[in-house]
Amino acid sequence: MTTNVYAIGVVGYFYAENPDVVYVWRAYDSIDFTRKVYFRVASTDKSYERTYEVDVNIRKVFPDSLLWSGPDTTGFPLLTGLCPAMRNDTLYCFGTDATGVPSVSFRDIDSGNWNGKNPMTGIPASGWQPRVTVCGGEFFTVAGGTLYGSQDGLTWNNVRTGIRSIVVDGNDSGRLWAVSQDGDIIMTDDMSSWTTFQHMPDGFPDSVSTVFNYPLETNINISRSVLVGLTRDTEKAGIWTKLSSDTIWTEIDSPAKTELRLPASKGMSVIRYDDDLFCLGRGLGGFRQSNDNGITWYRCTRYADSYSSWNRYMQLPDALMESDVEFGCVTDGKGGIWIMSEDGRVWRGAIVRLKKY
């Protein structure tokens, strides 16, 4: 905490357990407020002095640790195949209700509650893949081989036919990646002209997949895309990468050590937080983190004093640690992490920052 002390004269401070030792106050001093502290102010000629007792409420937490609030159940419906999405400061959660109807619930991230279950109109329930992405501020999804778009997440319109699946864009880069029914990897940034990059190679995710795009640290004019998703391999996830200067996607080789691979997980969610990639889902036992652009993935363990550069303090809410329920995850623009579970619970987490001045 930052402390401002204003006084005319000489300012000192001491701790209750040793009142005879008085330290002269200097602006750059660090004071241990977990101990009882007193300030003593004396006039310049030392003819008068007064002692002030300082009360500070201390809440001890591990620095840079992930804390969760919740679970919140107010207004959040029971949906399966959850696919959360963030647009501006509004959080949306798409899924299928108990009768098989595609539905969505949404709320402002700062205030208000979830607005219950709202049916999505304009798309067929049969053949709908519960995968929704935001591109250029609009929503897109695929049902029955057709790409649909929506301005509000509720009313949907036909955009293009011949689409097998879409890739969820984790940070709305303004580009929509998809796989055509002919098996081609295609991309558009205006929904009218499409570019074919390559025929889908073996091992390329074509069902559940998420892509993140961000500039290189060494050259901000070149961006890197990392795509993480599920394939026919039931043991490990498929991870592919592409630079903006490349013409094709390239698969990232799996690490020789099995424990550094990203396991396949039904309903996996991928987020980018603190410039690293994290994957979580049922059966993963918590967060898996990659700080090398998807090459290696470490299991995040509970906070330890020697955690070094890994965010091993990233932990699921306790209620989900041993749970078999499926859930979805997304980040907001204010440092928050949101988890929505199929049994109607919502958690919001954030890192408790340790700032150095």
> Mind listing the pLDDT tens digit for each residue in 227-276?
999 998 888 999 999 999 999 999 999 999 998 999 998 888 999 988 89
Q: Are residues 239 and 157 in the same domain?
A: yes
Q: Which residue has the higher pLDDT, 102 or 353?
A: 102
The range of the structural domain enclosing residue 122 comes to: 65-352
Residues above pLDDT 70, as percent of the chain: 92
- Let me know whether 133 and 43 are in one domain: no
- Highest-pLDDT range among 109-113, 184-188, 218-222: 184-188
Contacts 24+ apart (CB under 8 A), 332-336: 332/86, 332/89, 332/91, 332/109, 333/86, 333/88, 333/89, 334/89, 334/109, 336/109
Q: Are residues 143 and 99 in the same domain?
A: yes
Tell me: do 72 and 15 sit in the same domain: no
The residue among 198, 203, 217, 315 whose CA lies nearest residue 275 is: 217
Residue 318, classed as helix, strand or coil, is helix
Q: What is the CATH classification number for the domain harbouring 272?
A: 2.120.10.30
Cα(259)–Cα(261) distance, rounded to whole angstroms? 6
* One domain for residues 39 and 122: no
Q: Which residue has the higher pLDDT, 280 or 355?
A: 280
Is residue 169 located within the same domain as residue 292?
yes
* Number of domains the chain contains: 2
List Cβ neighbours of 292 (8 Å cut-off, separation of 6 or more): none
Provide the pLDDT for residue 307: 46
32 & 167 share domain? no
pLDDT at 1: 54
Asked, for residue 60, whether it belongs to a domain, the answer is no
Same domain for 122 and 246, yes or no, is yes
Same domain? For 20 and 107 the reply is no
Nearest residue to 84 (alpha-carbon basis) of 231, 281, 261: 281
Q: Return mean pLDDT, the chain.
A: 88
Q: Over pLDDT 90: what percentage of the chain?
A: 59
The model's pLDDT over 1-53, given as tens digits with 9 standing for 90+, comes to 555 666 677 888 999 999 899 988 887 777 888 889 999 998 888 788 899 99
- The number of residues making up the chain comes to 357
Give the pairing type, strands 250-251 and 269-273: unpaired
Cβ atoms within 10 Å of 256's Cβ, excluding its own: 7
Higher pLDDT, 307 or 203: 203
Distance (Å, whole) CA 266 – CA 275: 25
Whether 234 is covered by a domain: the verdict is yes
Q: Is residue 3 part of a domain?
A: no
Tell me the sheet residues that pair with 199: 184
Residue 304, pLDDT above cutoff 60: no
Identify the CA nearest to 98 among candidates 342, 286, 265.
342
SS (H, E, C) 21-74: CCEECCCCCCCCCCCCEEEEEECCCCCCEEEEEECCCCCCCCCCEEEEEEEECC
Given a cut of 90, whether residue 148 has pLDDT beyond it is: yes
119 cis-preceded (ω within 30 degrees of 0): no
Q: pTM of the entire structure?
A: 0.81
Whether 2 is covered by a domain: the verdict is no
CB 237 within 8 A of CB 226: no
Model confidence at 301: pLDDT above 80: no
